[in-house]
Amino acid sequence: MIFFNIIFLSVLIDQLVKFFIVKYIKPFYTFPIIPNIFHLTYVENRGAAFSILQEKQLFLIVVTLIFTIFLIYYLINIPTTNHSLWFKISLSLIVGGAIGNLIDRIRLGYVIDFFDVRIINFAIFNTADVFVVIGTILLVLILFFGNVENYL
């Protein structure tokens, strides 16, 4: 199933990028790609998005596990049609991102974040977050506008 390949690749990319961030960026804390605009900055996030729910790792692990199991069950049991293909791709990206951050929470007790967009003073985030956001944007487009294939 293509959906499990998307999930696997999302998790693999996320974990590989985080491995290299720990190896090459953590010792320096931050590395400017475009000074004062975009940096790679090593941060240990012990909360959720925007650092909310700090030190609530068990709660975040349980919620993520329930959410992920539900979505995987849905991906397995709902038949794939032309209309549901992009819907399931969006869910696969969300699941892949969720699992990527879940691995960090279970293994490390925190999530490794590193994309630091300083020009707009945005929260530091990671590749798993990017997959979740792309999947969510795709899901919203599908829900509001219908089949994405009409627009590609």
Tell me the residue ranges of DSSP E strands in the chain.
30-34, 38-45, 111-117
Distance CA 84, CA 100 (A): 24
Catalytic residue selected from 14, 104, 116, 129: 129
Question: Other C-beta atoms within 10 Å of 126: how many?
Answer: 23
Tokens representing residue 101 in the block: 């951050």
Q: Is 104 among the catalytic positions? A: no
The strand pair at 38-45 and 111-117 is best described as antiparallel
Residues annotated as catalytic (active site), given as ranges: 113, 129
